[in-house]
Amino acid sequence: MSAVIEAAPSPQPSAASGRGGKAGFNPKYLPLAATISLFMLVATLGSVFYDGFFSAQVFLNLLIDNAFLIVVAVGMTFVILSGGIDLSVGSVIALTTMVSASLVEKHGWSPAVVIPLVLAMGTAFGAFMGLLIERFRLQPFIVTLAGMFLARGLCYLISIDSISITNAFYAEVSQIRIPVWGEASLSISAVIAIGVLLAAVFIAHCTPFGRAVYAIGGSEQSAMLMGLPVRSTLIGVYTLSGFCSALAGVIFTFYMLSGYGLHALGLELDAIAAVVIGGTLLTGGVGYVAGTLFGVLMLGIIQTLISFDGTLSSWWTRIVVGALLFVFCLLQRFFTSRAPRR
């Protein structure tokens, strides 16, 4: 009788079980869960220590003040998911502001013409870099680094000084507030950023292009053997990143009401940091656009905490972000080491 009991089959694994029948939390969600949990923890601590921190407008201000970063980080997410990198995004934002300010203020062009023009310019710039990377098998780091220098240099060909934008359209758009509830409101830029984020989530998880991006990031050779359009997808991710950078530049123009060659200096590093903190692996193939949102919000809430404190230098933001990056890089290393070998 005991032998029969010992030989009885074990229960079937439940739906919550991981691979190999082991019940537990899927480790691929660990970086995203850590980011969301950390954001909630920081928000809770801020609410406890500072009066007025726990209010709807304070949290909506995270979206308002970081709308341009959300947009550019969305484009960066697709690039990193494919296993690449884009260092030109900050320079493209600066070039967008300079072209916009120059055409509107110095040449009297209508914003209805200028905005589509700069969006097309950024998209073409990204597509050109993607074509170089795919066609000549160049390293994305080098190509986008060259793009960063090129776009920043073009800014100074237009003007070495800041160009203020006094056009009524830009001034009005920068002041518009959309009521959310009570006295809380969102800016047009924040609404655009939310729209871009939702569109990116759909593209990443519900379209053949998004699935191809994940497959290429996992293994480009395997993606080719599967018959996926690797070449067009690689060009597509840099084209998308260029478009997002130009759109972020338009938002940044609304935010600053000026064009300047030093705008968005180092923003590419903030975008990469937000993507990594949001749980996307730098090796590609794993990550979520929603995680990038929380990565940006994490950077924003750190700055908000420092502002509420009033005694700390703004450089503490960089120190904390650097520490977070170390932690999340170690977390990614832990994840990759635990991943099953195929």
**pLDDT of 19 above 60:** no
The beta-carbon contacts of 252-255 under 8 Å, at least 24 apart in sequence, are 252/68, 252/93, 252/96, 252/97, 253/96, 253/97, 253/100, 253/101, 253/165, 253/170, 254/170, 254/173, 254/174, 254/188, 254/189, 255/67, 255/68, 255/174, 255/189
Q: How far is CA 78 from CA 240, 271, 286, 315, in A?
A: 8, 12, 10, 29
Q: How far is CA 326 from CA 94, 172, 280, 330, in A?
A: 29, 42, 14, 6
Q: How far is CA 270 from CA 208, 297, 307, in A?
A: 29, 12, 19
DSSP 170-233: HHHHHH-EEEEETTEEEEHHHHHHHHHHHHHHHHHHHSHHHHHHHHHHH-HHHHHHTT--HHHH
Q: What is the pLDDT of residue 333?
A: 76
Radius of gyration for the alpha carbons in the chain, expressed in angstroms and rounded:
22
> Cα separation of 38 and 176, whole Å?
32
Q: What is the pLDDT of residue 91?
A: 98
Beta strands in the chain (DSSP E): 163-164, 177-181, 184-187, 258-259
Specify the 3-state DSSP secondary structure of 38. Answer: helix
> 321: closest CA among 342, 338, 337, 305?
305
Question: What does pLDDT average to over the chain?
Answer: 89
pLDDT in tens, 115-174: 999 999 999 999 999 999 999 999 999 999 999 999 999 999 999 999 999 999 999 999
CA atoms within 13 A on the CB side of 129: 33
Using pLDDT thresholds of 50, 70 and 90, give the confidence band for residue 17: very low
Fold of 26-337: ABC transporter involved in vitamin B12 uptake, BtuC (1.10.3470)
Q: What percent of the chain has pLDDT over 70?
A: 89
Q: Which amino acid is at 196?
A: V
Q: What is the pLDDT of residue 25?
A: 59
Structural domain spans, the chain: 26-337
> Cα separation of 297 and 148, whole Å?
25
Using pLDDT thresholds of 50, 70 and 90, give the confidence band for residue 15: very low
Determine the average pLDDT of the residues in 322-337. Answer: 80
pLDDT in tens, 45-87: 999 988 888 889 999 999 999 999 999 999 999 999 999 999 9
With 0-12 / 13-18 / 19 or more C-beta atoms within 10 angstroms meaning exposed / middle / buried, residue 11 is: exposed
Q: What is the pLDDT of residue 5?
A: 41
Q: Are 125 and 88 in contact (CB under 8 A)?
A: yes
| Maximum alpha-carbon separation in the chain | 94
Q: Which amino acid is at 301?
A: I
48-62, 103-117, 207-221: range with lowest mean pLDDT: 48-62
Q: What is the pLDDT of residue 307?
A: 86
Specify the 3-state DSSP secondary structure of 331. Answer: helix
Angle subtended by helix axes 289-309 and 56-65, to nearest 10? 110
Q: What is the pLDDT of residue 24?
A: 56
Structure tokens at 55: 């209010």
**pLDDT of 201 above 90:** yes
Q: What is the pLDDT of residue 22?
A: 47
- Give the number of other CB atoms < 10 A from CB of residue 171: 12
pLDDT in tens, 231-273: 999 999 999 999 999 999 999 999 999 999 999 999 999 999 9
Determine the average pLDDT of the residues in 3-17. Answer: 42
User: Global pTM?
Assistant: 0.90
Q: What is the pLDDT of residue 336?
A: 67
The more confidently predicted of residues 2 and 31 is 31
